[in-house]
A and B are shown apart, each in its own frame.
Chain A
Amino acid sequence: MSGADNKVESLRKGIFRKYMNKVISSKSDYGRTGLLFVLPFMIALVIMRILPMIYTIDLSFYSWDGLNERVFVGLDNYRRLLQDKDFYKAIYNTSFIWFLNIFFRLGVALICAVVFAQSHLRGKQFFKAVYYFPNLVTSSSVAVFSYLALDYQNGFINQILLKLGFSKKIDWLHIPILAQSSVAAIIWWMWFGYATILLTTGILSIPRDVIESSIVDGANAWKRFWKITMPLLKPIFTYVFITSFIGGLQNFEIPTLLTDGRGAPDKSLLTMVMQLYNLTYKNFQYGYGATYAVALFIIIATVSAFTFRVINGGGDDRGRGGAK
């Protein structure tokens, strides 16, 4: 009797435990909790990023001034965009300014990173901190400040140049190529410290034994740099490259504030987002502005995907080969 009872009891306990375990570890149950944790974020993401994005894409097929009824125009905005000289001008300016600055950004950052990666250097933290600081400053402040610094009459850049023995002041902001170079230099100034820090960490994270074995193999410093350091830095280069490209195409504050939104001289500082801003919020061509925004997105997505494949193509294949 008692034996049977015990058996029933233990069976019951077993079932209970089994049941409880199921409750505790059941995927669906705790899963629902997880979903609840994620939901506020996801709902906000849908309301504040995804729906507005769909709205903009939809708007790009309409003509609308913000007041009257919007008119469906099909692909007219896109046709107009492809024939818009200012659009190509803006793409050219934006990429030219970006290219100028990314070249020097990666170059200087790489040199600094190699120097920083040597263990005996003192004051590393000081240099890193100083190089990174311009990145934290409000870019509108940087723009206004640069406007003063580069001023032909009173700017301190020209004052320094005169002191250094230059015979003539330079009109930085009114000669197209100089204006573009100035913007590139400002953006370089704001971002080379960031690239330096990322590349330094990248070099330091290369395993010591890889380097040591190559020294045993008789590779000199130069060869080690090209055969080991550079290939292993590829992912970080890709990252810096793509993020700087996405940021660079959205170049807006500095050229806008330097030129009061006109993109002067000779439209040389007209960038894509500046044009988008002017079209939409100054000329109230919402439909066409939306088309600009979509084009911006398409360009960013295409180039990012392309860069990723070109730079990381080799690495990807190796990864796949290894998995097999």
Chain B
Amino acid sequence: MKDLKKMTGRFIQYFLLMLLAAICIVPFYVMLINATRTNAQISVSISFLPGTNLRQNIKNMNETINMLVSFRNSIIISLPSTILAGYFGTMAAYGFSKFRFRGRNLMFAIALATMMIPMQLSLLGIYQASAKLKLLNTYWPIILPWIANTATLFWLRQYIDSTIDNGFIEAARIDGYSELGIFHRIILPLSREGIFTISIFNFVHAWNDYISPVLFVSKNARFPLSVAIAVVKAKDFQDQGAIYAGVAVSVLPILIVYLFLNSRITGGLTAGGIKG
């Protein structure tokens, strides 16, 4: 009797968990399937089997905006952003973690405070400065702010605090390493796990960013995927097959990366305290 009760309890648990999982997965599946179907098929009913119209949909999509170019643009934006955030974030985290200097606490507090300030408050100023410096329609105003990515700083400071022993640094000094040499040859390699985890999040964040590119870039050929997909929708929303194809192109790379790194990513959300 007790076993039966336990069994039904567990059955209900699994059923609800599976239901939630379906709510997360099915939309992506339908998206991929609809990217291969004709508009007529899409409008008539839902299907779980692929159609034959994928090539035509991709062709129509590319007539509105070249998604391959947008894909390249997304990489041109995201990769340097991630690297800058990781490099300068680690450098500052190391400075805050292992050195005592005047103004240290104040500076750290300022960095902490800017986390609470909405990005929109700065965007207007960056926009005007970029207009003055003729940097609109370039990626500089999108990429450069990543040098001062506060989330990266906090994550790595915590990481360096808890994993790197001062002894390594002392030993390297005795061996005659320069301070910058210590950073490059000891601290960066020792922090690579932490840098890698936060970099995944930074990359996804940069890849998904919509508001900065939509503000700073106004030429179709320079749009990253996040903006291009909105252009496809705005220009041609009768052609649903093409829009589905566009959405699929923007989602697939993330899906593929996630298949390999999911435990790393979900684990990274909570590793070393809670840091978004």
B partners with A: yes
Q: Is the CB of B117 within 8 A of A48?
A: no
Binds A, one of B23-31, B50-58, B188-196: B23-31
Binds B, one of A151-159, A220-228, A314-322: A151-159
Asked if B144 and A44 sit within 8 Å, CB to CB, the answer is: yes
Chain A interface, DSSP helix/strand/loop, else mixed: helix
* Residues of A close to B172: CB separation below 8 A: none
Q: Do B247 and A44 touch (CB < 8 A)?
A: no
Task: Classify chain A: how many residues form its interface, as a range.
Answer: 35 or more
Residues on A with beta carbons closer than 8 Å to the beta carbon of B185: none
Question: Which of B13, B208, B226 interacts with A121 by CB under 8 Å?
Answer: B13
- B183 at interface by CB-CB < 8 Å: yes
Taking a contact as CB atoms under 8 Å apart, the answer to whether A36 and B208 are in contact is: no
A139 vs B13: C-alpha distance in the bound complex, in angstroms? Answer: 30
A72 lies within 8 A of chain B by Cβ: no
A111 CB to closest chain B CB (Å) equals 8
Pairwise interchain contact B269-A31, C-beta atoms closer than 8 A: no
Whether the pair A273, B153 counts as a contact (CB closer than 8 A) is no
Cross-chain contact A144 with B230 (CB below 8 angstroms) = yes
A37 with B183, Cβ < 8 A, contacts A53-B125, A193-B24 known: yes
In whole angstroms, what is the CA distance A27 to B242 when docked?
Answer: 63
Contacts of A304 in B (CB 8 A): 116
CB distance from A35 to the nearest CB of B (A): 5
Q: Which of B20, B128, B246 contacts A55 (CB 8 A)?
A: B128
B76 within 8 A of A: no
Q: Which residues of B contact A129 (CB under 8 A)?
A: 258, 262-263, 266
A273 to B118, CA, bound (A): 10
Question: Separation in Å of the B180 CB from the closest CB of chain A?
Answer: 9
Kindly state whether residue B233 has any CB partner on chain A within 8 Å. Answer: yes
Which among B21, B31, B107, B237 is the interface contact of A38 at CB below 8 angstroms? Answer: B107
A252 within 8 A of B: yes
From residue 28 to 50 of chain B, which have CB atoms closer than 8 A to chain A? 28, 30-31, 34, 42-43, 45-46
Residues of chain B within 8 A (CB-CB) of A193 are 24
Q: How far is the CB of A244 from chain B (nearest CB, A)?
A: 10
B contact patch SS:
helix
Contacts of B119 in A (CB 8 A): 250
- Residues on B with beta carbons closer than 8 Å to the beta carbon of A280: 124
Pick the contact of A45: B43, B114, B123, B274 (CB < 8 A): B114
Q: Does A168 contact B (CB under 8 A)?
A: no
Q: Which stretch, A6-14, A82-90, A91-99, A286-294, touches the partner chain B? A: A286-294
B251 within 8 A of A: yes
Q: Point out the residue from B45, B122, B274 that lies within 8 Å of A56, measured CB to CB.
A: B122
Given contacts A144-B229, A148-B244, contact A156 B46 (CB under 8 A): yes
**How far, in whole Å, are A219 and B124 apart by their CA atoms in the complex?**
56
Query: Is A266 an interface position by the 8 A CB rule?
Result: no
Instruction: Determine the residue in chain A with the shortest Cβ distance to B200.
Output: A136
**A57 and B98 alpha carbons, distance in the complex (Å):** 35
Residues of B within 8 A of A51 (CB): 125
- B window 43-86: CB within 8 A of A: 43, 45-46
A169 CA to B78 CA in the complex, in Å?
Answer: 41
Interface string of A260-274 (1 = CB under 8 A from B): 100000000000010
A312 at interface, CB cutoff 8 A: no
The 0/1 profile, CB within 8 Å of A marked 1, for residues 91-123 of chain B is: 110111011111110010011001011111111
Q: How far is the CB of B48 from chain A (nearest CB, A)?
A: 11
B-side contacts of A48, CB under 8 Å: 122, 126, 144-145, 147-148
The reply to whether the CB of B240 lies closer than 8 angstroms to some CB of chain A is: yes
Residues 243-279 of A contacting B (Cβ, < 8 Å): 243, 246, 249-250, 252-253, 257, 260, 273, 276-277
- CB of A30 within 8 A of CB of B92, answer no
Q: Which of A6-35 contact B (CB under 8 A)?
A: 24, 27-28, 30-35
- Cross-chain contact A281 with B215 (CB below 8 angstroms): yes
Q: Would you call A34 and B46 a contact (CB within 8 A)? A: no
Does A301 lie at the interface of the complex (its beta carbon under 8 Å from any beta carbon of B)?
A: yes
Residues of B near A115 (CB, < 8 A) are 13, 17
- Does B243 have its Cβ within 8 Å of any Cβ on chain A? yes
- Residues of B177-210 at the interface with A, using a CB-CB cut-off of 8 Å, are 179, 183, 204, 207-208, 210
**Contacts A41-B147, A44-B88, A301-B116; is A140 near B230 (CB within 8 Å)?**
yes
List which B231-263 residues lie within 8 A (CB) of chain A. 232-234, 237, 240, 243-244, 246-247, 250-251, 254-255, 258, 262-263
Asked if residues A133 and B258 are in contact (CB atoms below 8 Å), the reply is yes
B residues less than 8 Å from A103 (CB atoms): none
Sample 29 A-B pairs with CB under 8 A, ordered by A number: A33-B179, A34-B104, A35-B99, A38-B96, A45-B111, A49-B145, A49-B148, A52-B121, A52-B129, A56-B124, A136-B254, A138-B210, A138-B250, A138-B251, A139-B208, A143-B230, A145-B31, A147-B233, A147-B237, A148-B240, A148-B247, A154-B240, A160-B46, A198-B274, A236-B274, A257-B233, A276-B120, A281-B215, A296-B118
Leading 9 A-B pairs by shortest Cβ distance: A34-B99, A52-B125, A37-B95, A31-B101, A41-B92, A55-B125, A38-B95, A45-B148, A44-B147
Given A280-B124, A296-B118, output 12 extra A-B contacts at Cβ < 8 Å.
Answer: A36-B179, A41-B91, A42-B148, A115-B17, A127-B20, A130-B21, A136-B208, A145-B31, A147-B233, A151-B240, A159-B46, A253-B210
